[in-house]
A and B are shown apart, each in its own frame.
Chain A
Amino acid sequence: MGKIAWKGHWTRRSIQIIFFFFVFFIVLTHFLERRGSHFPWPVGGNFHGICPFGAVETVGTLIMNGNLVPKIYQSNFWVLSGVMLVTILLGSVFCGYLCPLGSIQEWIGSLGRRMFRRFNHSINQRLDRALGFLRYGVLALILIKTTLAFSLVFQRIDPYYALFHFWMGDVFPSALIVLGSVVLLSLFFERPWCRWLCPFGALLGLVQIVAFWKIRRTTSTCTGCGRCSRACPMKISLHKKNSIFDTRCNRCGSCIEACRHSKAISFSGPGGAFFALRSRLAIGVLALALFFSPILYAQSGGFFKFQKGFHSLRGRREALTIQDIKGTMTLADVAEGLCLQTVTLAGILGIPSETPVSTKMYDLEEIDERLTIKYVKDLLADADYLKNDDI
């Protein structure tokens, strides 16, 4: 095992490709559903609803007035929990193995490496490190602006959103320019967005300082040759440190692969070799398991919701009471919530039975001007169908 398990990036690349297409599959099914396609599995929500950074963006509004920014749902917090679990235990493995934007930069970087001899070398280490601090500025700016504007301001420049939506005609030109610049810079530098601008990477970089598993150097076997540092795509001087606390390390494993001395560098816990993860496959499988565990838990318990209301925050479906009926609900929502057939509901309200079930309750006024929400509630409260149960 040993070094052979670290040779080549195929395991990591495979996980990156699978995850990239998994995210693309979610975006595509949502897009097709919008156009009238139906799928046997739940599609619901939107791309923002599965973005872990969305939960971070709304922290300010959540603290200030207890509200989530529009387009952000309970689901974002479950995805963020998965990322945090991975990061607290394994460090920024999310960045190195799962993040689709990181993956695409890496793939383009592979192309750049073949095209340009001086790939990733035309920037000195001090400038590179200084540029890395820009990430914290971007993070602070996004948090402040999102809280003040009560909207997803980052969407306007978000290359991750642009990457998966540019073909839909839904992306701001500013975000496209950022994406285009990232793609172009990736031809010359390793992961430019991740290293210098990514706000989520900045946050995960801070969290990973406490990670259980880290890249660690065993001083008794290390000769200080510097091969690990030269191999590091993030230009971290590993051979001068005992363990990596650098916020830019994404656990790609290039340093371990480059090291010629057995066990001089390992991906291990504080206990040394006993907790060492000895291959990229082990890291990837553990990361996927950790990432999906909170999401699967929430899915199985019915907590994974792309909604802010109607379902309680605990997520369990609650019986709808007449008092809970909102103007923004559809006839179908109300019928389902009150356990009625839509035809029965139409009969109670005195509207044609062929009225589309997607009709919003507030639009009933257009059918019959008396049908305000208050009047609808009165009609339902008086209906014999509903009088005898707890509704």
Chain B
Amino acid sequence: MRKIAIVIFFLFSSGVGLYACEMHFSLLHPDGSEQVIFPGKSTVLKEGKEYLLRVQFVEDHRRCLTPPEETVYLLNDEKWKSAKEHLPLILLSQSQWEEVYVHTWEQEIRFKAQESGEWELQIVRDCPKGGYEEQLTILVR
């Protein structure tokens, strides 16, 4: 009986509910091809063309303290917003975050590569549990 009780205790304790952020990026080119992009690696875009950036956010913690809406995009250290036409990548539209799977959220951002040069798009999730802070290097030619 004691053995069974101990085994049940271990089984029960292993089942105590628990889950923690992680992000994945892909770019839809004007020709319809999709490219997975990674922080730290440069992505080449054509000047004047429109692109679709698909951002997927996976909650690393079961109790996520920072909702997806609080994800911040910084282009050259400035908040990337649709009204900012002086930025080299013009944000045209931004979809609402949608929970595509359990604990997985997705957002689509349509933008235009307006100006040639090398630009840094930073993605920041400010969270006491660690959050997320990486940057995508965009080369517009």
Contacts and interface: CB of A to CB of B under 8 A. Distances in A.
B15 A180 contact: yes
A328 B40 contact: no
A179 B78 contact: no
Contact of B19 (A71, A173, A187, A362): A173
Interface stretch (B47-55, B88-96, B110-118, B129-137): B129-137
A362 B78 contact: yes
A167 B16 CA distance: 8
B11 A67 contact: no
Interface string B6-48: 1100110111111110111000000000000011110000000
A88 to B, nearest CB: 31
Interface string A182-202: 011001000000000000000
Given A155-B20, A171-B62, A362-B72, A181 B78 contact: no
Contacts of B79: 327, 362, 365, 372
Contacts, number: 119
A61 interface: yes
A372 to B, nearest CB: 5
A176 interface: yes
Interface residues of A, number: 47
B38 A70 contact: no
Contacts of B19: 169-173
A176 B77 contact: no
A141 interface: no
Contacts of B17: 169, 173
Contacts of A173: 17-19
A244 to B, nearest CB: 32
Contacts of A314: none
A65 interface: yes
Nearest to B36: A148
A172 B130 contact: no
B18 A169 contact: yes
A177 interface: yes
A373 interface: yes
Given A67-B39, A183-B14, A170 B62 contact: yes
A151 B126 CA distance: 17
B63 to A, nearest CB: 5
A166 interface: yes
B134 to A, nearest CB: 6
B31 to A, nearest CB: 24
Given A111-B6, A150-B38, A170 B74 contact: no
A362 B74 contact: yes
Contacts of A180: 10-11, 13-15
Nearest to A329: B77
Nearest to A325: B77
A123 interface: no
Contacts of A175: 18
Contacts of B15: 176, 180
Nearest to B61: A170
A111 B5 CA distance: 13
A13 interface: no
B74 to A, nearest CB: 5
Interface in A142-183: 149-152, 155, 162, 165-173, 175-177, 179-181, 183
Contacts of A184: 7, 10-11, 14
Contact of A171 (B6, B7, B18, B130): B18
Contacts of B122: 327-328
Contacts of A361: 77
Contacts of B130: 46, 48, 71
Question: Which residue among A115, A165, A180 has the maximum number of chain B CB atoms within 10 Å of its CB?
Answer: A180
Given A362-B78, A374-B78, A166 B40 contact: no
Nearest to A177: B14
Nearest to A156: B60
A326 B77 CA distance: 6
Contacts of B18: 162, 165-166, 168-173, 175-176
B20 A115 contact: no
Interface string A359-390: 01110010000001110000000000000000
27 contacts: A34-B129, A65-B40, A65-B41, A70-B22, A70-B132, A115-B3, A115-B6, A150-B38, A166-B18, A169-B62, A172-B20, A176-B16, A176-B18, A179-B14, A180-B11, A180-B13, A183-B14, A184-B11, A187-B7, A327-B124, A328-B74, A362-B77, A362-B79, A362-B124, A365-B78, A373-B78, A374-B76
Given A166-B16, A168-B18, 12 more contacts: A48-B130, A70-B134, A150-B38, A170-B20, A170-B62, A171-B19, A172-B60, A173-B17, A181-B14, A187-B10, A328-B74, A372-B79
